[in-house]
A and B are shown apart, each in its own frame.
Chain A
Amino acid sequence: EAQVTQNPRYLITVTGKKLTVTCSQNMNHEYMSWYRQDPGLGLRQIYYSMNVEVTDKGDVPEGYKVSRKEKRNFPLILESPSPNQTSLYFCASSLTGLMTDGGYTFGSGTRLTVV
């Protein structure tokens, strides 16, 4: 089954403790992206990647890191999480990311709480 897999689904952590949220897709998609979703603000892009070893900042990159060493994986790293990073996170992918691509496939989401 074609899908984007995120782990974990739920995570409660303490301020300052480094964490990684994994994202993997099995569709051979070149484009992958991370979003956070907050009430009233909608989906905001954190980072995206056009292909292996190519990453770029989205609208809200502060406090996050990403890497794209393999085509299928795009982990999101929070080096020193803070309470304002409490949010619902989604990984998304598409074939190329270009406007005619037909939209994104989203992972099932990770609800992160930083206390």
Chain B
Amino acid sequence: QKEVEQNSGPLSVPEGAIASLNCTYSDRGSQSFFWYRQYSGKSPELIMSIYSNGDKEDGRFTAQLNKASQYVSLLIRDSQPSDSATYLCAVNLGYNNNDMRFGAGTRLTVKP
């Protein structure tokens, strides 16, 4: 079992819709969770971090964390074509504070 799993996609949504990206992780001791956006040929860019169960909102982005289910998600409201990118989930495994593991990413396409 991979430590951080994401559906590779592609996930396609129409402009203005809500895009929902999901991530599961294997280590129950994980403490910190991140979402990165990566445009094709570019470097990952941090868009959200979440440390506690529940929702965290930042503009059109909402991160949701459920540690009991070992599940973290990213919702993008009012999706725009400029949101088309690969979204990487990253989890700090907790038994070593430096141990950040990345999922393989979900490719999102927002169609005008």
Q: Using Cβ atoms and an 8 Å threshold, which residues of chain A touch B102?
A: 35, 42-44
With an 8 Å Cβ cutoff, the count of chain B residues facing the other chain is: 25
With an 8 Å Cβ cutoff, the count of chain A residues facing the other chain is: 23
Chain A residue with minimal CB distance to B103? A42
Q: Which of the 9-residue segments B14-22, B39-47, B61-69, B71-79 touches chain A?
A: B39-47
Out of A41, A50, A100, A109, name the residue touching B98 (CB < 8 Å).
Answer: A50
B interface list, Cβ under 8 A from A: 4, 8, 31-32, 34, 36, 41-46, 49, 51, 88, 90, 92, 94, 97-98, 100, 102-105
Q: Using Cβ atoms and an 8 Å threshold, which residues of chain A touch B4?
A: 42
Say if the beta carbon of A103 comes within 8 Å of chain B: yes
Give 7 A-B contacts (CB < 8 Å), ordered by A residue: A40-B8, A42-B102, A97-B97, A104-B46, A104-B100, A107-B43, A109-B43
Q: Using Cβ atoms and an 8 Å threshold, which residues of chain A touch B43?
A: 90, 106-109
